[in-house]
Structure 1
Amino acid sequence: MINATSCGGVVIFRGKVLLLYKNFKNRYEGWVLPKGTVEPGEDHKETALREVFEEAGVSATIMKYVDTSSYTFNVPEGEVNKEVHWYLMMADSYHSKPQKEEYFFDSGYYKYHEAYHLLKFANERQILEKAYDDYLKLKERNLWGIK
């Protein structure tokens, strides 16, 4: 068993959620939330912000920790147990630019219900539900947009 840790973000701008479209050699295809592997010396927040910027070209501010998701997959070296730490983030603008080197070919901001149905993985839909609920609570208390 190989253990791996990643961090990512549910990025929101004016109520809409950032998604990335990934197409890896036609074997892996679908809409996902931005996330990536923790690099040596980074804390989880730094990783999440860096990955959002690298994968989507989006500058964001962390508003709140959301939750952790876990899943397993196989690689030639064995089974990987991946743990992902998720943060609710506020984007600075609608601008996004998908990272082609990582096989992201589209990106954009979608209304909650659109994003929910577009997401490829059930665990990311669960994270989106929690994060969007947190977003609505912060907004209701006039705490959204305060850095």
Structure 2
Amino acid sequence: MLKEISAGGVVFRRRGEQLDLLIIEDRYMKISLPKGKQEPGETMEQTALREVKEETGIDGRVVEPLEVIYYQYYHPQIGPINKEVHYYLVEALGGELTPQIEEINKVTWMEPDRAWAVQMSSGYENNHSVMDKAFTLLNLKKGNLS
């Protein structure tokens, strides 16, 4: 079975006392995190930062690793694929929010309580623990849905 390795991140920014998280809605109308396939010669961190930039327009820096998740999906032309995704906590350094329209419907900054709520209600279940780890590292409260 084919194995695919990707990397991505939970992206945050600070504006004074306010902290926001970057949330994307993918082409399947699900809440997700920016991620994508590793290219030859890239480290996982480089992949994560490139994918954040490509999918959202945001430049960032890796703060620290969050989690590696594993799942399987079915590709119509290839068949079942084992997926491994390395997620990092990424601090936004600049750039303009620009969704990669081939991959995602929209990208937006959200306050943490709203980001947690949309992840729990409309996000992929395998991203719940990734968000949880980011909230812990950023010392954020998760609201009523935790």
The TM-score bracket by the shorter chain reads 0.7 to 0.9
CA shift digits 1:93-147 (9 cap, x unpaired): 4841101122x2211111222212223211112101101211229xxxxxxxxxx
- Counterpart position of 2:46: 46
Please tell me whether the aligned partners of residues 58 and 96 of structure 2 are also in contact (alpha carbons under 8 angstroms): yes
CA distance in 1, matches of 2:99, 2:73: 24
CA distance in 2, matches of 1:74, 1:101: 19
Deviation at 1:59, TM superposition (A): 0.6
SS at match of 1:62: strand
Runs of 4+ in 1 over 3 A off after TM superposition: none
- Counterpart position of 1:71: 71
Name stretches of at least 5 consecutive residues in structure 2 with no aligned partner: 141-146
CA distance in 2, matches of 1:93, 1:57: 9
The normalised TM-score by structure 2 is 0.84
- Cα RMSD after superposing both structures: 1.6
Comparing 58-67 and 89-98, the one that deviates more: 89-98
Deviation at 1:50, TM superposition (A): 0.1
Identity %: 34
| Equivalent runs, 1:26-37 vs 2, <5 Å | 28-37=28-37
The normalised TM-score by structure 1 is 0.83
**Corresponding letter in the other structure for 1:44:** M
Aligned residues: 132
